[in-house]
Structure formats: C-alpha cells, structure tokens
Amino acid sequence: MTTLTKQPDPGLSAGGPQKSRKRGKPAADFRGTGDLKTALFFIAPAMLGFVLFYLVPTIRGIYLSFTEYSILGDPEWIGTRNYERIAKDPLFWNALGVTSQYVIINIALQTILALGIALLMHRVAKSTLVRGALLMPYLMANVIAALLWFWMLDYQIGIVNQLIEWLGLPRVAFFGSEQWAIPTQALINTWRHMGYTALLIFAGLQAIPNNVYEAASIDGSKAVSTFWRITLPLLRPVLVLVLVVTVIGSFQVFDTVAVTTAGGPVNATRVLQFYIYQRAFNEQDFGYGSALAVILFLILALVAFIQMKFLRGNQSDLD
C-alpha cells in the first residue's frame, strides 16, 4: 500500500522541476503526510456537521440523562435518579417487553421470508423487473406503508378481513385488539422490508462460487443437504449483517406505531421509541426521556456486539 517517498507539501509545491523528475513514478505525489491543510479545507463542512449534530448531542444526551429538565429553565443535576425511576417504571418494562416482542416476530418473519424469496430468485428469476417489483414496498415511507395497511386491514371494510371472512374464519381486529396490535405492526414492517432483505441475501448468494456447488454435486449431495451444509454456512456473513441491521432498526420502531395505534390499545404498542417521544415531547420531561434513550442506545450496542461476536459476522468461511 505504501511506497511513499516523503514529500512535505506535494499538492502545493508541485512545480516545474518535479514535472520531469516524477514522470513514470505513479502515485508518489499523493503519498506524503503533508496534506493536512488541504484535508482541513475538504473536511471542514462535514466536520462542522459531525461536531454540531452528532458528537456534541451524544455527549449532551448522556449529560441530560442525569438531570431534571423540562425545557424551561436550566437542567438540574440529579445524579442517577432518572435511572432509578426507570428501574421501577412499569411503563418502561412494558415498553421493553412490547418492543422485544415486535423485534422477535419481525426478525423471524422477515428473515425466513427474505431467505425464501432470495433462494427462489436465485433459482428462477434474476431480472431487474422482478427485483424492482420486490423492492417497491421498501421505497415507500413507513407512514405510507402504515396507512396503506391501516386501510387494507380495517375491521369493517378492509379487503383482508373480507378475504378472511370469505375463507369462513372470524374477522380479526388487527389494530384494535391488544393481542394482535404488535404482530400487525411487525407484519407491516415485514411487508416493507422483505424484498429489500431478499435482495441483500440474493447478492450474498451470487457471491458463492459455483465450484463449491459442483464439488457438492459430484459428492452426491442432495439439494436439501446442500442448502443446510453449504449455502447457509457460506451465507453467514450476509445473514449476520442482515440480522444486525434488522434488529437495530426494529428496536427503533416508531413511525408506523405513531400514525396507526399511537401506543394503544391500552399499552399494547407503546414501544420504546414511542415512549421516549411521549416522555420528552408530550410531557416535557427531557431528562427522563434522555435516560430512556441512553438505555435504548446501550441495548442496541449490546445486541450488535453479541451478534458480531457469537455469529462471527466479520469472517467469511470462503477464505
């Protein structure tokens, strides 16, 4: 990677004599360590955005979580009292339970369906048209997906309940019953994401070299055992990545809940992010909201760490 001849200021001092001297020695001019001034110019706007809207807010968010702050006045330091309150807050534990339920249903449905679709595509159809059709839901806003299904799943005249009744089954109150509200939210999200996830897995399938399959077929491996013993293990890095991204995304479910059930019925869909939103913006309790956000942050970091560590997502078996 580095064949550098040290040059103090290659960009700025590249003048006449260098021209002839350096010809035929590619890349040397770029490999000094003296581009700092130029780099600062290029990086300044991004750095400003990074510091103002990512770095400082992260630190400030942690600070606020140790304070009592209702927007009016100044934050008042109260130590760990917010966290002590959270530990005893039944609504927080409810939110955590409901969110976990959502995450689990979502992951199971989405990963299995996406894997199935990816395998089907790998087998019969790779055209852009098919992939485009499957990707359509993903391009829609969460709000749009939510409203679309809010209508299709309506208890009275939604088309899905018409079909259910036509099949001779009782109607389902998808959004109205505590039992169904969370699975319904997970279904909406699965609908929006399954094609996208399928395309990611499909890209992983394409990357498995054919000679692996050839070897398996010469050894007399059947399609099913080829899948379990070759395809799935070789897909592991992609699957882990998909899992990490899906789990982290699912823990932050908000949009669909906010426009359809708004936490209800009762507390059935009061997911973590919606609860944070309510505490911070409806009840102006920014300290408590920040502490909840820190907890969510820690959960996500832990989940990502566990997944990468135990599923070895950064290593490929192909190497």
Partner 1 sequence: MTTTATRPADNRRRPFLNRPSARNRPFNWRRTIAWVLLGVAIAVSILPFYWVLRTALSTNGSLAANSASLLPADFNLGAFKRVFGFQTAQEAIAEGGSGASINFWQYLWNSLLFSSITTAGAVFFSSMAAYAFARLRWKGRDGVFSLFLGTMLVPPIFTALPNFLLVKNLGLLNSMLGMVLPYLFMTPFAIFFMRQFFLNMSREVEEAAMLDGAKHWRIFFQIVMPNAAAPIATLALLTFMGQWNEYFWPLLVGTTEETRVLTVGLGVFKSQAPQGAPDWSGLMAATLVSATPVLILFAIFGKKIVNSIGFNGTK
Q: What is the Cα–Cα distance from 119 to 125, expressed in whole angstroms?
A: 10
Question: Minimum Å distance from CB 5 to partner 1?
Answer: 12
β-bridge partners, 77: 67
Indicate whether 202 belongs to the interface with partner 1 (CB under 8 A). yes
Interacting residue with partner 1 among 1, 72, 124, 224 (CB under 8 A): 124
Helix segments in the chain, DSSP class H: 10-13, 16-22, 36-50, 56-64, 81-87, 90-124, 128-139, 142-152, 159-166, 178-206, 210-218, 223-226, 232-251, 255-259, 272-277, 286-310
Residue with tokens 């907890």: 295
Indicate whether 54 belongs to the interface with partner 1 (CB under 8 A). yes
Indicate whether 107 belongs to the interface with partner 1 (CB under 8 A). no
**In the window 248-277, what residues touch partner 1 (CB under 8 A)?**
248, 251-252, 254-255, 258-259, 273, 276-277
**In the window 154-183, what residues touch partner 1 (CB under 8 A)?**
154, 156-159, 162, 166
Q: What is the Cα–Cα distance from 92 to 275, expressed in whole angstroms?
A: 8
Of 3-11, 77-85, 89-97, 167-175, the segment contacting partner 1 by CB under 8 A is 3-11
Instruction: State the DSSP code for 158.
Output: -
Interacting residue with partner 1 among 196, 265, 308, 311 (CB under 8 A): 196
> Which among 160, 188, 185, 186 is positioned nearest to 264, based on CA atoms?
185
Is 274:92 a contact under the CB 8 Å cutoff? no
Indicate whether 306 belongs to the interface with partner 1 (CB under 8 A). no
Nearer to partner 1, 182 or 293 (CB): 293
Indicate whether 285 belongs to the interface with partner 1 (CB under 8 A). no
Indicate whether 48 belongs to the interface with partner 1 (CB under 8 A). yes
Nearer to partner 1, 172 or 199 (CB): 199
Interacting residue with partner 1 among 39, 169, 302, 318 (CB under 8 A): 39
